[in-house]
Every structure is written in structure tokens, then in C-alpha cells.
């Protein structure tokens, strides 16, 4: 069986895309779960601040999710440009 360099590069790019999304989803998942849990604790302690806590939680979740979006961009570049 003859495997050329182009096939090896394509396989490595696809493997790299999978690894990028795998590791890129771990951080935002943990971060968003932590922020949500702390927001629930904050609302349980001071229910009158619910609106402020939820607003701050949503902003923090958006910031945490940005790293997952960067991983998605890298994975898409590896799939469609390199491979």
C-alpha cells in the first residue's frame, strides 16, 4: 500500500481538528458550569439581587464560551484549509 504525503497531512489535519475541539470544549464547559453554580448560590443567599447576578452570569458565560469558539475556528481551518 502506497501512502503519499498529501494523505498523511490530511489525516493529521483531521486528527488535529478533533483534538482541538475536544480540548477546546473542556475549558468552557467547566467554566460555565462553575459560573452557573456560583450564580445559583448567590441568588439563594440574596434573592433580591437576582437580576444583577443573572446579568453578570450571562456576561461571564459569553466570555468563557469565546475560547470554545476560537477552538471551533481553528478546527474549521484545519478541516477546510489544510486538509
Tell whether the model's pLDDT for residue 1 goes beyond 70.
no
Cell numbers 469565546 correspond to: 66
Cα distances (Å, whole numbers) of residue 46 to 13, 26, 34: 49, 30, 18
What pTM value is reported for the model?
0.80
Grid cell digits, residue 30:
467547566
Across 10-21, average pLDDT: 95
pLDDT tens-digit map of 30-56: 999 999 999 999 999 999 999 999 999
Which structural domains are found in the chain, ordered by start? Answer: 31-83 (1.20.20.10)
Amino acid at each position: 500500500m502506497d501512502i503519499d504525503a498529501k494523505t498523511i497531512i490530511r489525516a493529521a489535519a483531521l486528527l488535529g481538528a478533533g483534538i482541538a475541539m475536544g480540548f477546546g470544549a473542556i475549558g468552557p464547559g467547566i467554566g460555565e458550569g462553575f459560573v452557573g453554580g456560583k450564580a445559583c448560590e448567590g441568588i439563594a443567599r440574596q434573592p433580591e439581587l437576582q437580576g444583577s447576578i443573572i446579568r453578570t452570569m450571562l456576561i461571564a458565560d459569553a466570555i468563557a464560551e469565546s475560547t470554545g469558539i476560537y477552538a471551533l475556528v481553528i478546527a474549521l481551518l484545519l478541516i477546510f484549509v489544510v486538509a
